[in-house]
Amino acid sequence: MSKAPAYLNNFIIKIINQDLALGKYTSVHTRFPPEPNGYLHIGHAKSICLNFGLAENYQGQCNLRFDDTNPVKEYIEFIESIKNDILWLGFKWSGDIHYSSDYFDQLYDYARELISKSLAYVDHLSSDEIREYRGTLTKLGINSPYRNRSVDDNLVLFAKMRRGEFMEGSACLRAKIDMESPFIVMRDPVLYRIKFTDHHRTGTKWCIYPMYDFSHCICDALEGITHSLCTLEFQDNRRLYDWILNNISIDVHPRQYEFSRLNIEYTIMSKRKLHLLVSDNIVECWDDPRMPTIAGLRRRGYTAASIREFCHRIGVTKQDNNVQIAALEACIREELNESAPRIMAVIDPVKVIIDNLPVGYQEKIAMPNHPNKPEMGIRQVTLSREIYIDRADFSEINYQKQYKRLVLGKEVRLRYAYVIKAERVEKNEQGEIVIIYCRYDPHTLNKVPADNRKVKGVIHWVSATHCIVASFRLYDKLFTLPNPVTAEDFRVNLNHKSLVIRQGVVEASLLTTKVGESYQFEREGYFCTDSHQCSQFSKSRLVFNRIVRLRDTWLAKVEL
């Protein structure tokens, strides 16, 4: 995989280089620790590229560890999708997959050790009371009345918690640190809570489950992680990370470093919120091509290389920002501009009859698959008497000087073929044009007209007798605001036109298209054959997802 300079310049690389130079470590060991409570999104891709990328860069290791400490929310489907997405992105974890739940026994023992050192206690305050006692940034916290119990009492009570002798919410284990700490996370954080919920791996063995802050640092240490990279909201938690490791008998002490989360304009990045889009049927499912999930982007037609390229370009910093969608789109557009075969497709068709061609006429027109890449070959596309062009490529009257398409009484060139002239139209009862009658100039195949008359404009076309009917799914941004989460309920900012479905035609060469194949539909954009059409997948009805437009209309709009 190519290493972009952004990666080699980020602040984490500098730290690692220094650590290696000073001999603190001899190799680099990172981890990617998803909570299996949803599908991975493009923000996770940033973390994956960073963690796996660093391991690759230093020929070190990167573990995949499912952070499955909260049994209520975790599902097998998510674990499978996460594994699949990481592999698809082009990375492979070192050794076996790890689960935080693998360490439940050890975590329990470390909790007992903290109790034995009088550094943890069983508390009976309710969660509301705990919140109240905790104070705020401007108000000091207050000690729980249960804080000063003896070590022995606490050991007995903790064992009772484990045996299920307390109700949910009636007891928890808390670290004894400092209720007056300027860092709220250090005000006696909860380490264990009671949950009478089966766990997907440990079944009914446990009814107490460790909190993220307690388990994460210990799992990192047990796995010999050298650099534990997380997002900026965990900056204060680093104190707790270090406090726990400093107070238990463990030799390894990984270091935590924080970087900024990826946010992208007009989208949301929280699994919980993405979950709502799925459960409220606002989108089809987790891999709806409008979703910022890896699965959604893949179905939309993004390649793994384009997502990795995006992650390289945005780099890794401590600056919070909202990246433009255009930055992501540019990565796939640039790739497809090089690699995607060109194809003719008419998304909003209107019929054209070429009067001076005989009924049943067929002519093979050679078309390059890529205008700048002869090595991609040519294909033969049939021209017939009846063809389709896009409705937007015809106008009865020329209202605009810049309009370089077909106008009644004027000429235009059919892409790679002849010049045609529009002579009359036929309309239906609603006044819509149903047929445009034209004549073609037989001396203009890939040649300028003999009298050198100027023909402005080239339009794409598909033979009406040699085409395949297709659905085109035209996607737009999912939200109407650059930062949709600012509203109390982010759903008020949904873009109701984020999916427009059109019925049109593509040239017959796509009869053999395969799921996931991408094309540039000339003058329309980049499209990919959808993967969810299998049930209704028949050769006469293809479904194409618009991956991205040909040009960045976003920027164009901003400049206007």
Annotated binding site: 35-37, 41-47, 67, 212, 231, 261-262, 269-271
Residues 426-455 that bind ligand ATP (CB under 6 A): none
Out of 10, 47, 267, 520, the only residue in the binding site for ligand ATP (CB under 6 A) is: 47
Q: What stretch of H or E contains 78?
A: helix 76-88
Min separation Cβ 280 and ligand ATP, Å? 17
Binding-site annotation, residues for ATP: 35-37, 41-47, 231, 261-262, 269-271
Using DSSP, state whether 556 is helix, strand or coil: helix
Which CB atom, from 35 or from 335, has the smaller least distance to ligand ATP? 35
- Is 364 one of the annotated active-site residues of the chain? no
Task: Give which of 228, 292, 218, 328 is closest to 38, Cα–Cα.
Answer: 292
Out of 7, 28, 43, 176, the only residue in the binding site for ligand ATP (CB under 6 A) is: 43
Handedness of CA 167, 173, 179, 185 (dihedral sign): negative
Q: Count residues binding ligand ATP (CB under 6 A).
A: 15
CB atoms within 10 A of CB 242: 15
Min separation Cβ 75 and ligand ATP, Å? 13
Min separation Cβ 209 and Mg ion, Å? 15
Q: Which strand ranges, in their side-by-side order, compose the sheet holding 120-123? A: 120-123, 172-175, 190-194, 208-210
Q: Which two tokens stand for residue 304?
A: 């793994």
Min separation Cβ 307 and Mg ion, Å? 21
Out of 19, 35, 178, 348, the only residue in the binding site for ligand ATP (CB under 6 A) is: 35
Residue range at the interface with Mg ion (CB under 5 A); choices 31-39, 182-190, 227-235, 459-467 = 31-39
What DSSP state is assigned to residue 485? G
- Is 541 one of the annotated active-site residues of the chain? no
Q: Which two tokens stand for residue 323?
A: 């990246």
The residue behind tokens 């002798």 is 165
181 binds ligand ATP (CB under 6 A): no
261 binds Mg ion (CB under 5 A): no
Binding at 33: pick from Mg ion, ligand ATP, none (beta carbon under 5-8 Å per type): ligand ATP
Using DSSP, state whether 103 is helix, strand or coil: helix
Residue type, 431: G
What DSSP state is assigned to residue 508? G
Give the active site residue among 162, 193, 271, 308.
Answer: 271
Give the active site residue among 83, 201, 261, 502.
Answer: 261
33 binds ligand ATP (CB under 6 A): yes
Handedness of CA 478, 480, 483, 487 (dihedral sign): negative
Residues 237-296 that bind ligand ATP (CB under 6 A): 261-262, 269-271
Cβ atoms of residues 376 and 421 within 8 Å: no
**Which residue number is nearest to Mg ion in terms of Cβ?**
35
Min separation Cβ 294 and Mg ion, Å? 16
Which CB atom, from 230 or from 419, has the smaller least distance to ligand ATP? 230
What DSSP state is assigned to residue 538? B
The residue behind tokens 């076309």 is 461
Q: What stretch of H or E contains 264?
A: strand 263-264
Q: Could you tell me whether strands 542-548 and 525-529 are parallel, antiparallel, or unpaired per DSSP bridges? A: antiparallel
Which CB atom, from 37 or from 57, has the smaller least distance to Mg ion? 37
Residue range at the interface with ligand ATP (CB under 6 A); choices 29-37, 93-101, 158-166, 439-447 = 29-37
44 binds ligand ATP (CB under 6 A): yes
Residue range at the interface with ligand ATP (CB under 6 A); choices 41-49, 195-203, 295-303, 418-426 = 41-49
Q: How far apart are CA 216 and CA 475, in angstroms?
A: 39
Cβ atoms of residues 103 and 72 within 8 Å: no
Which CB atom, from 43 or from 141, has the smaller least distance to Mg ion? 43
35 binds Mg ion (CB under 5 A): yes
Alpha-carbon torsion, ordered 392, 395, 398, 399, to 10 deg: -60
Q: How far apart are CA 309 and CA 124, in angstroms?
A: 51
Which CB atom, from 36 or from 315, has the smaller least distance to Mg ion? 36
- Is 271 one of the annotated active-site residues of the chain? yes
Measure CA 321 to chain center: 17
- Report the interface residues with Mg ion, using CB under 5 A: 35
- Report the interface residues with ligand ATP, using CB under 6 A: 33-35, 43-44, 46-47, 67, 230-231, 261-262, 269-271
* Active centre residues (catalytic): 35, 261, 271
